[in-house]
Amino acid sequence: MSERDDTRVIGIDLGGTSVRTAVVNAQGRMLARDQGITPAREGSDAIVKSVLGSVGRVLEKPHMAASDLGAVGLACAGLSNPETGILYTSPNLPGLKDVPLAGLIENELGKKVFLMNDANAAAVGEMHLGAARGARNFVYITLSTGIGAGVVIDGKIYTGSTGFASEPGHMVIDDEGPVCYCGSRGCWETLASGTALAKYARQRIEEGRKTSILDYAGGDAEKVRAEDVHQAAQTGDTLAKEVIARTAYYVGVGLANLINIFNPELIVIGGGLTNIGDMLLEPAYEEAKRRAFPQTYQAVRFARAELGDDSGLLGAALFVLGEMGRLGGLLRP
- Average pLDDT over the chain reads 93
Q: Interhelix angle for 101-109 vs 44-60, to 10°?
A: 40
CA 65, CA 38: separation in Å to the nearest integer?
A: 23
Confidence category of residue 328, pLDDT binned at 50, 70, 90: low
Q: What is the pLDDT of residue 333?
A: 40
Q: What is the pLDDT of residue 330?
A: 39
pLDDT in tens, 147-159: 999 999 999 999 9
pLDDT exceeds cutoff 60 at 329: no
Q: What is the pTM of this model?
A: 0.92
* Domain covering 131-305, topology: Nucleotidyltransferase; domain 5 (3.30.420)
Q: What is the pLDDT of residue 95?
A: 82
How far, CA to CA in Å, does 261 sit from each of 132, 142, 264? 19, 18, 9
The contacts of residue 207 (CB under 8 Å, 6+ apart) are none
CA 126, CA 46: separation in Å to the nearest integer?
A: 31
pLDDT in tens, 78-107: 999 999 999 999 988 888 899 999 999 999
33 sits in which H/E element: strand 30-37
**What residue spans define the domains of the chain?**
5-117, 131-305
For residue 43, the tally of other CB atoms under 10 A from its CB is: 15
DSSP state of 135: -
Q: Up-side HSE of residue 198: CA atoms within 13 Å toward CB?
A: 21
DSSP states along 101-168 = HHHHHHHHHTS-EEEEEHHHHHHHHHHHHSTTTT-SSEEEEEESSSEEEEEEETTEE---SSS----G
* Domain covering 5-117, topology: Nucleotidyltransferase; domain 5 (3.30.420)
- Residue 221's identity, in one-letter code, is A
Q: Strand 147-153 to strand 138-143: parallel, antiparallel, or no bridges (unpaired)?
A: antiparallel
Confidence category of residue 20, pLDDT binned at 50, 70, 90: very high
Same CATH topology for 5-117 and 131-305: the answer is yes
- CA-CA-CA-CA dihedral for 86, 60, 16, 162, to nearest 10: 20
Q: What is the pLDDT of residue 61?
A: 86
pLDDT in tens, 122-135: 999 999 999 999 99
How far, CA to CA in Å, does 313 sit from each of 25, 107, 329? 13, 21, 20
- CA-CA-CA-CA dihedral for 206, 210, 211, 216, to nearest 10: 60
pLDDT in tens, 221-268: 999 999 999 999 999 999 999 999 999 999 999 999 999 999 999 999
Confidence category of residue 1, pLDDT binned at 50, 70, 90: very low
How far, CA to CA in Å, does 222 sit from each of 19, 24, 195, 245? 28, 41, 12, 21
Q: What is the pLDDT of residue 6?
A: 57
DSSP state of 184: -
**Cβ atoms of residues 131 and 172 within 8 Å:** no
Burial of 277 (0-12, 13-18, 19+ CB in 10 A): exposed
Q: What is the pLDDT of residue 232?
A: 98
